[in-house]
A and B are shown apart, each in its own frame.
Chain A
Amino acid sequence: MFKKNFITFFLWVLLWGVCSAQEICPLNAKPPAELKSLKEFSAIAILHNGRVKPMDTYARHVLLQFSGKGKYEKQEPIRWLTGVLFGNPELLEQKVFLINNPEIAETLGIEPEKGRRYSFAQLEKGLPLLIDLAQRAWDIDEKNRSIVENEIIRVESNIRLFIQLTHVFQFAAPHPDFQIQNKTLKKELEFPEAQNYFNFLMVALRAEKLNELTRDLENKENSLWTETEKEAYQLISNLYSWSMYYNNLPIHIIPFFQHETHDWLSPWDTIHFSFNDPDIRKEIYFLSDMYQAKLGGDQIRFDLAVRSFSNSVENRLKREGAGSKYLRLELFSNQLQAFFWAKFLYLFSFLICMMALIKTNKVFYRVAWILVGGGFLIQAIGFIMRVVILQRPPVSTLYETFLFVSFISVFVGLIIERFSKNWLGLIISSISGFVFLMIASRFAAEGDTLKMLVAVLNSNFWLSTHVVTITIGYAGVCVAGVVGHIYILQSIFRPHQQELLKETQRILLGTLAFGLTMTFLGTNLGGIWADASWGRFWGWDPKENGALLIVLWIAMLFHLKVGRMIGALGLAIGSVLGCIVVMWAWFGVNLLSVGLHSYGFTSGLARNLLIYVLVQLLFLTLTIPLIKRK
């Protein structure tokens, strides 16, 4: 805690140190000329959260983190990020900072906005207060922090990151701190005579010469210093203070290899720590060139600088055997938005299914098939791309499990439809596909969804056996829950169609059996994994218990049915309630924040889970009396 606070405090002291000498966000006086294409720039490799990804993914992540939106006023995230990095002054007025609690805005002296988003210019006045509040919020234990306190910390860290991002390319920006009027000094430093303003990089490259010029000044009285010496001294002082201030900045785009260690540095840290390496020095020149080209709106020069930079980085990575192969694929995946389109197709198909309730039509049936099939195909492509990019099965975070449950539910629905041919499978597919993808998209709002795994999960074999199987089990029971709903509705609206009810009951039994078998297998494979990594097959851990609850619940339903203690309706009700058991096992136990499966815990789920349970109970309370009446 102390360390974290200290770092926060230290960073702010540094930032404010710079700010007191210069402006907070060193943006240019006029907007830099717009470039038509940022295609090459969006493919630059960047290390973020332990993973090398394209700049495009990073831009999406940061914009989502700041604003909770995927785009800013129809502007692609990469264009917005480029604006921040290359100093577009219009950004100060753009309302990108999301503050969920209006009282925070009021405390900072800002009129609360309807859209809950504020510009940097609005927030700037209240910054010292925000920093102070954030500092106090940090001092409170994480478990005891209120929503407002967490929000203060989030907003403050976003603004801090924004300021840091505007500093990333400052080494290439001409600045009054590096102004040279003296012609002799310009000549000594081999600068063009006509130019007065220079950037940090240009001066840093001549640091040795400046050292030479100022070496003897310590022994010379100030009044005796020549104009050249005075300017040289000022330059070297500024060089030093800039070096002190600008470090630990984001945008880790330059790989750095030393002995056995491998890290990625930001341009500033590269200048400080490894500028002597000729390849790395060349890369800094390319970045500087990129900045100048962006400022002048020179597309060809900009792309050339980006390509030269990327090429140099790639060559060095290959030489060290650390190449990142799938950046282009990830870019394509970002642009394809496979899960968005799949969700759209499932929704459309569901609407057609609803229309078919009024009037069955062969054309409708075919269109619904094509839409669900198309959604399934696109979703499968999205999955395959995730597997290739991450080199692991795509089921390890809560977000991914929602994607996977949606995928399996659609698949099970399609299989059911293939045999039953009575719309039931299509309804199951479209509802489950849409609902689970909808929930998944809420998790996607947390940022980059392609995450690295904690050490204990880092096993492709067990991820692809235990986690995949148990998630298929969840999907099976969820599908049974959907069928249970349908059976209850059919019992109300079509009580005399016994054949239809029997068919639905048969499907209900089948999906429950599928859910039980896969959950049972998944639970046991989990036991075997636990045995292999922790030394015990079963430890009564909440997540293990959750899976056991599903198995016990379905086993109980089957035994009740076999013993004729319940009928088809009881089974349907049990399946609806079974969904609640699955939700509890899936993410409800994570809310307890205890146990060995403490990875992937997500806040804000409790309310949604409670709403879900209440809705299900309300559904049963409203529908069951109707069946009895009929």
Chain B
Amino acid sequence: MNLFIKNLAKNPLVRFMASLKITVICLALLFILTLWGTIDQVGNGLYAAQEKFFFSFYFLGFGFIPFPGARLVLWVFFFNLLAVTVTRFIHYKLKSIGIIIIHLGLLSYFFAAFVTFHATKETYLQLLEGAGSNLSSYYRDWEVSIWKGEDNPRNVTSVDAKLLKPGFSLQLNDFGLEFHVTQFLTNSDAYLEQPQEGTEYLNASGIKSLKKISPNIEPEKNMAGGTFLLKDKKGELKNLLLFGGEVRPTGLSINDEIVYFQLRKKRHELPLTLKLVDFRMKKYPGTDMAKSYESLVEIDANGLKRQVLIYMNHPLRYKDYTFYQASYAIDKLSREYSTLAVVKNPGKFLPYFACFLTFAGLVIHFMSSSFQKKK
């Protein structure tokens, strides 16, 4: 092993990658990207800025200048750090222990970022007081859900909206149905008027047509919509229109059975059921300024029921899941809803570890170098 590392350290590519100049270039590029990505949020919103500057390998600055994205820079930085570890830190001396710990801490940050980036699932759960659910919704992802009216419990088949491109078709054998996509819009407006020359669609809410609108800078506010062609066993064709803003599903008679269709935010099944017992908002006396928001929920995990209070800065943690008090709403009937952000992050404690390690390294290094200078 030692010999392998020694040989590796002599490898010209590894020696090149261990260059301090690469480190400085990476830091400078990250500085530029962070600043640019921050300012870009003003016009294009957080999501677009994240995708363009931080989650990409490259992008075109001002529409024509190729520029490395933070993802590429971080990968180069990671290999630079690995190469430095192999070539330099391997010959460690006690006086440079702080430096080694700092850089090991940074390597753990890369690992934490990798796990978090690829394994985190962010969803939300909106509950009406008294209501419960074990399904949370994704913020931006949509699906078409299909189920038979007579099923109890409901057996739902879902088609991910990422597949829904015009021309896409699917054979749904359980329903004896061919499902064709004729149109899918990421963000749309729905209209009740029938266009003069247009297909007549079936829709439970009476929506006759959809109009494409430009995507919102906050993608969670997009309202998807689509039109579909359904063909049953007899070859009978039906034109279906679904809109993301609909509350009711559209029920159609397919092969003499009622089948329901709904375009909704993609669901995620939770390992427990949450019921909102009470939502409370406290205000500072004499003002409309909120002092705290809290949701009293009853959780049912494998038949074990207990009540938990979720409030700002005090989430509920269950296995890999964390439930946070995110927002609230009051409808026209004065009913209170609480929205809980649900995050599944198997690597949530990794950044904590990386932070501790790097901070400890910084303290050891700067303290020891200050003493060395004193001597």
Cβ of B45: which chain A residues have Cβ within 8 Å of it? 594
| Partner-binding segment picked from A79-87, A233-241, A548-556 | A548-556
- From known contacts A456-B312, A517-B363, A565-B24, infer whether A527 and B351 are also in contact, taking CB-CB under 8 Å: yes
Cβ of A277: which chain B residues have Cβ within 8 Å of it? none
Beta-carbon contacts under 8 Å, A577-630 to B? 589, 592-595
Task: Give the complex CA separation of A259 and B286 in angstroms.
Answer: 16
Task: Give the complex CA separation of A71 and B117 in angstroms.
Answer: 56
B302 at the interface (CB under 8 A from A): no
B350: nearest residue on chain A (CB-CB)? A537
A621 to B: closest C-beta gap in Å: 22
Give which listed residue, B24, B122, B291, contacts A560 with CB less than 8 A: B24
B16 at the interface (CB under 8 A from A): no
Q: Is the CB of B312 within 8 A of A594?
A: no
Give which listed residue, A252, A506, A513, contacts B366 with CB less than 8 A: A513
A47 at the interface (CB under 8 A from B): yes
Interface string of B12-23 (1 = CB under 8 A from A): 000000001101
Interface string of B308-342 (1 = CB under 8 A from A): 00001111000000101010000000000000011
Task: Give the complex CA separation of A541 and B366 in angstroms.
Answer: 30
Interface string of B32-45 (1 = CB under 8 A from A): 00110111011001
B358 at the interface (CB under 8 A from A): yes
| Partner-binding segment picked from B46-54, B171-179, B192-200 | B46-54
Beta-carbon contacts under 8 Å, B344-369 to A? 345, 348, 351-352, 355, 358-359, 362-363, 366, 369
Give which listed residue, B37, B287, B343, B352, contacts A540 with CB less than 8 A: B37
| Partner-binding segment picked from A54-62, A396-404, A528-536 | A528-536
A452 at the interface (CB under 8 A from B): yes
Give which listed residue, A50, A548, A560, contacts B287 with CB less than 8 A: A50
Q: Is the CB of B34 within 8 A of A552?
A: yes
Q: Is the CB of A51 within 8 A of B362?
A: no
B223 at the interface (CB under 8 A from A): no
B88 to A: closest C-beta gap in Å: 11
Cβ of B342: which chain A residues have Cβ within 8 Å of it? 535
Q: Is the CB of B286 within 8 A of A47?
A: yes
Cβ of A517: which chain B residues have Cβ within 8 Å of it? 359, 362-363, 366
- From known contacts A506-B373, A517-B363, A540-B54, infer whether A594 and B289 are also in contact, taking CB-CB under 8 Å: no
A248 to B: closest C-beta gap in Å: 12
A559 at the interface (CB under 8 A from B): yes
A318 at the interface (CB under 8 A from B): no
A518 to B: closest C-beta gap in Å: 9
Q: Is the CB of B351 within 8 A of A455?
A: no
A588 to B: closest C-beta gap in Å: 10
Q: Is the CB of A592 within 8 A of B41?
A: yes
- From known contacts A546-B38, A552-B27, A594-B42, infer whether A536 and B343 are also in contact, taking CB-CB under 8 Å: yes
A191 at the interface (CB under 8 A from B): no
Task: Give the complex CA separation of A592 and B39 in angstroms.
Answer: 7
Interface string of A236-278 (1 = CB under 8 A from B): 0000000000000000100000000011100000000000000
Cβ of A458: which chain B residues have Cβ within 8 Å of it? 291-292, 312-313
Beta-carbon contacts under 8 Å, A422-443 to B? none
Task: Give the complex CA separation of A593 and B38 in angstroms.
Answer: 11
A115 at the interface (CB under 8 A from B): no
Task: Give the complex CA separation of A387 and B362 in angstroms.
Answer: 30
Beta-carbon contacts under 8 Å, A473-517 to B? 506, 510, 513-514, 516-517
Q: Is the CB of B293 within 8 A of A455?
A: yes
Q: Is the CB of B348 within 8 A of A531?
A: yes
Count, A-B residue pairs, CB within 8 A: 153
Beta-carbon contacts under 8 Å, B42-101 to A? 42, 45-46, 49-50, 54
B255 at the interface (CB under 8 A from A): no
Task: Give the complex CA separation of A9 and B326 in angstroms.
Answer: 35
A459 at the interface (CB under 8 A from B): yes
Cβ of A592: which chain B residues have Cβ within 8 Å of it? 38-39, 41-42
B124: nearest residue on chain A (CB-CB)? A535
A589 to B: closest C-beta gap in Å: 6
Q: Is the CB of B38 within 8 A of A556?
A: no
Cβ of B341: which chain A residues have Cβ within 8 Å of it? 534-535
Q: Is the CB of A559 within 8 A of B116?
A: no
A552 to B: closest C-beta gap in Å: 5
- From known contacts A520-B362, A546-B38, infer whether A536 and B287 are also in contact, taking CB-CB under 8 Å: no
A459 to B: closest C-beta gap in Å: 5
Q: Is the CB of A535 within 8 A of B315?
A: yes
Cβ of A8: which chain B residues have Cβ within 8 Å of it? none
A49 at the interface (CB under 8 A from B): yes
Cβ of B303: which chain A residues have Cβ within 8 Å of it? none
- From known contacts A521-B359, A540-B37, infer whether A553 and B324 are also in contact, taking CB-CB under 8 Å: no
Cβ of B49: which chain A residues have Cβ within 8 Å of it? 540
Cβ of A559: which chain B residues have Cβ within 8 Å of it? 20, 23-24, 27
Cβ of A455: which chain B residues have Cβ within 8 Å of it? 290-293, 312
Interface string of A32-70 (1 = CB under 8 A from B): 000000000000000111110000000000000000000
B284: nearest residue on chain A (CB-CB)? A50
Task: Give the complex CA separation of A562 and B19 in angstroms.
Answer: 12
Task: Give the complex CA separation of A552 and B30 in angstroms.
Answer: 8
Q: Is the CB of B284 within 8 A of A529?
A: no
Q: Is the CB of B34 within 8 A of A514?
A: no
Beta-carbon contacts under 8 Å, A88-103 to B? none
Give which listed residue, B31, B120, B369, contacts A549 with CB less than 8 A: B31
B370 at the interface (CB under 8 A from A): yes
A470 to B: closest C-beta gap in Å: 13
Cβ of A546: which chain B residues have Cβ within 8 Å of it? 38
Task: Give the complex CA separation of A592 and B38 in angstroms.
Answer: 9
Interface string of B273-309 (1 = CB under 8 A from A): 0000000000111110111110000000000000000
- From known contacts A452-B284, A546-B38, infer whether A537 and B362 are also in contact, taking CB-CB under 8 Å: no
Cβ of A192: which chain B residues have Cβ within 8 Å of it? none
- From known contacts A517-B359, A527-B355, A552-B31, infer whether A533 and B312 are also in contact, taking CB-CB under 8 Å: yes
B31: nearest residue on chain A (CB-CB)? A552
Q: Is the CB of A516 within 8 A of B362?
A: yes
A340 at the interface (CB under 8 A from B): no
Cβ of A565: which chain B residues have Cβ within 8 Å of it? 20-21, 24
A349 at the interface (CB under 8 A from B): no
Task: Give the complex CA separation of A454 and B373 in angstroms.
Answer: 46
B363: nearest residue on chain A (CB-CB)? A517
Task: Give the complex CA separation of A311 and B35 in angstroms.
Answer: 57
B35: nearest residue on chain A (CB-CB)? A549
Cβ of A50: which chain B residues have Cβ within 8 Å of it? 283-287, 289, 291
Give which listed residue, A459, A537, A541, A563, contacts B313 with CB less than 8 A: A459
B5 at the interface (CB under 8 A from A): no
Cβ of A589: which chain B residues have Cβ within 8 Å of it? 38
B46 to A: closest C-beta gap in Å: 7
Task: Give the complex CA separation of A545 and B41 in angstroms.
Answer: 11
Task: Give the complex CA separation of A117 and B344 in angstroms.
Answer: 59
B295 to A: closest C-beta gap in Å: 13
Instruction: Pull 14 A–B residue pairs with CB atoms less than 8 Å apart, ordered by A.
Output: A50-B289, A452-B291, A458-B292, A459-B312, A513-B369, A524-B358, A525-B355, A535-B315, A538-B116, A540-B37, A540-B50, A542-B38, A549-B31, A565-B21
In the A-B complex, the 6 residue pairs with the smallest Cβ-Cβ separation, listed nearest first, are A50-B284, A535-B343, A524-B355, A563-B20, A50-B287, A556-B27
What 4 new A-B contacts, CB under 8 Å, besides A452-B287, A513-B362, A520-B358? Answer: A535-B345, A537-B351, A555-B27, A592-B39
